[in-house]
């Protein structure tokens, strides 16, 4: 039997019925206190036919917050809110991982406890603006983390993974992509440290390695995935040699026997790409999940050729809760409405029609 997008696969301790994954999608629809609410339950339950659901990025601490109305996993109320979601997904036969998120410098004092400066590996202000409750505001100069603070941030990831287990998740995905804290350590455009966390490839990957080690020790490597984005320029990110940097990062992760490595395979805004992702896949050696502007044909080709074991879909899952069924039957896809992607109510969130409606 040939392997294709609809073939089952075992990932860690999970048996997935297909290789179609719902990518993490920030939707800015958490309730007060960054607590998941009833419409979030409906949203995830609608998408349970995905082989795996990866939740929207979820902050590991109050310090990790970078956007309004995004959920957390650091308070009892947030854990309870997520419990309602995992219960609904599991009762409907689905599987779900929580994405662990610390935004680092991509925040604003108005979003931070006591109005503090955002934290980063180095005091380098990103170009652009932060999304705040008062509207768009220029990013500020972040405060560089002291070396003795870093173990405390690692512990925030551990506690968040522990809370995710309490909330009923099947596993977690460590968000090391898209210009957030771990990515800021990895890339030399945002990391100019001169201590053990900066300079060489080994040093810049140290924070990723320490977070992954600690989270795997807490919940088991077979419940952990990691997401990387070697070429994504989002959040003013760049690296002088992304091929070498991320081949190394994938090699570091190869030693953990993770559930999967999830890779954004181009710049997510332009779609442009110049590195060889087969090298990243080879360096990792385990289950490889591809992402970024895939359609059905390209995803099928990636899985059938062995370029990827799974493919995650973002925008298509916003508009098509029954994406698996539409792909398998060749049905037309709903058209996404970008005006309703971020914030708002059920409109553009849980009201996209299923086949036959």
Residue 272 pLDDT: 83
pLDDT exceeds 90 at position 107: yes
* Calpha distance 276→261 (Å, rounded): 16
Determine contact, residues 267/293, Cβ cutoff 8 Å: no
The whole-number average pLDDT for the span 134-157 is 98
356 located within any domain? no
pLDDT score, position 102: 98
Secondary structure class of 93 (helix, strand, coil) = coil
How far, CA to CA in Å, does 194 sit from each of 200, 203, 327?
9, 9, 50
Residue 173 has pLDDT above 80, yes or no: yes
Instruction: Determine, yes or no, domain membership for 98.
Output: yes
The average pLDDT across 185-211 equals 98
Q: Which of 14, 9, 44, 1 is nearest to 349 (CA)?
A: 44
pLDDT score, position 270: 83
Catalytic residue selected from 67, 157, 180, 294: 180
Assess whether 44 carries a catalytic annotation: no
Mean pLDDT, residues 157-173 taken together? 98
| Tens digit of each residue's pLDDT (9 = 90 or more) over 341-351 | 999 999 999 99
The proportion of the chain whose per-residue pLDDT surpasses 70, expressed as a percent, equals 100
Residue range 309-331: mean pLDDT, rounded:
98
Instruction: Identify which of 256, 261, 186, 267 has the alpha carbon closest to the alpha carbon of residue 215.
Output: 256
Contact partners, residue 42, CB within 8 Å, separation at least 6? 346, 350
Is 350 a member of any domain?
no
| Per-residue model confidence (pLDDT) at position 207 | 98
Read off the tokens for 119: 């934290």
- For 122, the domain range is 9-340
Residue 225 domain flag: yes
pTM of this prediction? 0.98
Summarize the confidence of residues 203-230 as an average pLDDT. 98
Whether 171 maps to a domain, the answer reads yes
Question: CB-based contacts of 126: which residues, under 8 Å, 6+ apart?
Answer: 105, 106, 139, 179, 190, 235, 236
Query: Would residue 183 count as lying in a domain?
Result: yes
pLDDT the model gives residue 2 = 73
Listed residue (273, 260, 271, 328) closest to 294, CA to CA: 271
Please state the domain count of the chain: 1
In the numeric block, the tokens 């659901």 are attached to: 53
pLDDT computed for residue 271 by the predictor: 81
The string of pLDDT tens digits covering residues 42-58 is: 999 999 999 999 999 99
pLDDT at 92 over 60: yes
Residue pair 191/202 in contact by the 8 Å Cβ criterion: no
In a domain, residue 1? The reply is no
Quick check: 1 pLDDT over 70?
no
- CATH number (domain holding residue 110): 3.20.20.70
Is 246 part of a structural domain of the chain? yes
């Amino acid at each position: 039997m040939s392997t294709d997008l609809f073939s089952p696969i075992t990932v860690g301790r999970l048996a997935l019925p297909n290789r179609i994954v719902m990518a993490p999608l920030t939707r800015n629809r958490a309730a007060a206190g960054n607590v998941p609410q009833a419409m979030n339950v409906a949203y995830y339950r609608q998408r349970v036919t995905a082989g795996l659901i990866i939740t929207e990025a979820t902050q590991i601490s109050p310090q990790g917050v970078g956007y309004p109305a995004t959920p957390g996993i650091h308070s009892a109320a947030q854990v309870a809110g997520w419990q309602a979601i995992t219960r609904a997904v599991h009762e409907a036969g689905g599987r779900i991982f929580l994405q662990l998120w610390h935004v680092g410098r991509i925040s604003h004092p108005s979003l931070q406890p006591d109005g503090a400066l955002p934290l980063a590996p180095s005091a380098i202000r990103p170009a652009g603006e932060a999304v705040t409750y008062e509207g768009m505001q220029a990013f500020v100069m972040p405060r560089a983390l002291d070396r003795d603070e870093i173990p405390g941030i690692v512990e925030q990831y551990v506690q968040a993974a522990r809370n995710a287990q309490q909330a009923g998740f099947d596993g977690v995905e460590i968000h090391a992509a898209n210009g957030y804290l771990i990515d800021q350590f990895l890339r030399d455009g945002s990391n100019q440290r001169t201590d053990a966390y900066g300079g060489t490839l080994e040093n810049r990957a140290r924070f990723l390695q320490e977070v992954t080690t600690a989270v795997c020790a807490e919940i088991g490597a077979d419940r952990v995935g990691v997401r990387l984005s070697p070429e994504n320029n989002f959040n003013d990110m760049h690296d002088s040699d992304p091929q070498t940097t991320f081949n190394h990062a994938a090699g570091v992760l190869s030693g953990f026997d993770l559930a999967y490595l999830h890779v954004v395979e181009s710049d997510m805004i332009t779609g442009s790409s110049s590195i060889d992702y087969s090298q990243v896949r080879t360096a990792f050696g385990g289950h490889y999940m591809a992402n970024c502007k895939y359609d059905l044909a390209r995803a099928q080709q990636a899985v059938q050729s062995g370029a990827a074991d799974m493919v995650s879909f973002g925008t298509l899952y916003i508009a098509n809760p029954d994406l698996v069924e539409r792909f398998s039957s060749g049905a037309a896809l709903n058209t996404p409405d970008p005006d309703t992607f971020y914030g708002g109510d059920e409109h553009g969130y849980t009201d996209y029609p299923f086949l036959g409606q």
